[in-house]
Structure 1
């Protein structure tokens, strides 16, 4: 790692989080008019085309060469499950509440890293997990008005994203980041591209809707590029708490685009989830304690 650039790293990371918030908001808008598998297929396909056009001429071999292809593909499948589940949840629920549930994944990663990666979470991580769970309960409580099926899809997306992050954490030790990104995009394109023809229904997209479809790949591709650039020269421990700025972005966009305003208890739940994530991120700054064998 080169010389740290904290301010630049945080700025890049904030930009990528805003793009991810735009991605979720655009997906929710399109789900009112088009089938979810079609939307996700276009997102992955545009992302793959952009990545191939921009990176393949220079990094072609690096994009396809991996040491553990089976687990790289499993990781890609986990992200595909997270993508379709998140889109189905957004179809039924407000953007802010859906994103807040997904943000329990980083805390679950810390807890699961114990038995799977040989790290010992410690009391602080367990406290963060308990707080995050309480925050989710405030959001999905009886009487909140959230769609039960949407909550189930959001929980599925959270678990799939947890698996994706754990596999990323393990595979980044041996695989190139560009190859991991390429395979996730390729697998998603193949899966949802195969399903897309079965969900071609509704009116042909207007110019605005076509632009929104194309923007999905741009938001995802550029967002992941900025994500990588931010971590290139800025410590992960500094960026981790910044993740929760995305909750602010999705809340603002949900209000501006759809007029959705979370109630007081939901906002409290979101704040608790964000707080639990910050606690977990601060805990993660400490070097992990390896289990003796």
Structure 2
């Protein structure tokens, strides 16, 4: 029995989140051997080579004129900030905690869209955003006991990533997604090369570590492509919430691979963040349906008016 568009989209989104979670776990596993800068440099070069080869094969426009677009430049800068801060978080705090904080990304995107893109956000979604960020506070546990300052790296990564996603919305539709990915990965590689000396210099890369880095570049590319396929397969309001399956992967990987034991505060905070995010998806889908119904009614009335006016 063939899958429906929504089921296919949900499956693809879940696979994408599994790819990203495995990528993050591999990065965390080598942060004890290599600096963040060296990881960015080597992985960035690998990803650039991979994307360039695929782009050439598909005949995608990858000319330098693309990076003269101001929104592409801003997006790349935000991606660099997100990579630096999230890798810093992965190096210093528990894997599941960093992933849990990143679950607030949809809330941050909604907040940014309301503040900077003037998208309408009702009081219910404002309340959901506020509750969601309270969930983040439960995860990072501010106060004299239990607070890890390094968790703020993950919080910063959320806002850098949200800014990147908002900038993506403003990039001209005639600029290929693969080209944006190419210049983003190249920028990551260049920044990593620049920061290698300040962050401790070049360290020898073992065969095992090199294999980890090669696999991360493949997982990142696979994750981005399956996300695109997922969002084009079904209804966004149905497919998008499956982003939260990444937290399931993060918790399982944290326990089995890194021997982590999430505490009650982190689990409750993650549940609050996910619940708030799901509610914002629900309210947005409801708003979109209402707008579609209103547009349909206006179209019917207009058609009826024209029909009446055309009678002799």
Counterpart residue number, 1:22: 22
SS in 2 for 1:61: coil
Matched, 1:145 2:149: no
Distance 1:8 1:144, change over 3 A: farther
Query: CA separation in 1, counterparts of 2:65 and 2:235?
Result: 27
Counterpart residue number, 2:280: 280
* Deviations, residues 176-213 of structure 1 (Å, cap 9, x unaligned): 32232222222222222333355565763332222112
Note the 1:7-156 alignment, pairs <5 A: 7-61=7-61, 66=66, 69-141=69-141, 142=143, 145-148=146-149, 150-156=150-156
SS in 1 for 2:60: helix
184-193 or 236-245, larger mean C-alpha shift? 184-193
Counterpart residue number, 2:232: 232
Counterpart residue number, 1:184: 184
Counterpart residue number, 1:252: 252
Query: CA separation in 1, counterparts of 2:207 and 2:146?
Result: 34
Question: Contact (CA 8 Å) 1:26, 1:212: kept in 2 or not?
Answer: yes
Query: CA separation in 1, counterparts of 2:234 and 2:127?
Result: 27
Question: Contact (CA 8 Å) 2:37, 2:191: kept in 1 or not?
Answer: no
Query: CA separation in 2, counterparts of 1:72 and 1:247?
Result: 29
* Deviations, residues 107-132 of structure 1 (Å, cap 9, x unaligned): 12112212322211111211211121
Structure 1 residue 67 displacement after superposition = 8.8
Distance 1:144 1:154, change over 3 A: farther
Counterpart residue number, 1:264: 264
Counterpart residue number, 2:297: none
Query: CA separation in 2, counterparts of 1:178 and 1:196?
Result: 27
Distance 1:57 1:111, change over 3 A: same
SS in 2 for 1:121: coil
Structure 1 residue 271 displacement after superposition = 0.7
Note the 1:202-217 alignment, pairs <5 A: 204-217=204-217
Gaps of 5+ in 2: 292-312
Question: Contact (CA 8 Å) 1:111, 1:125: kept in 2 or not?
Answer: no
Distance 1:251 1:207, change over 3 A: same
167-176 or 16-25, larger mean C-alpha shift? 167-176
Q: CA RMSD in A?
A: 2.4
Query: CA separation in 1, counterparts of 2:117 and 2:13?
Result: 26
Distance 1:62 1:231, change over 3 A: farther
Gaps of 5+ in 1: none
Query: CA separation in 2, counterparts of 1:115 and 1:211?
Result: 43
Question: Contact (CA 8 Å) 1:42, 1:217: kept in 2 or not?
Answer: no
TM-score by length of 2: 0.84
* Deviations, residues 122-163 of structure 1 (Å, cap 9, x unaligned): 112112111211111111113663521x12211211110110
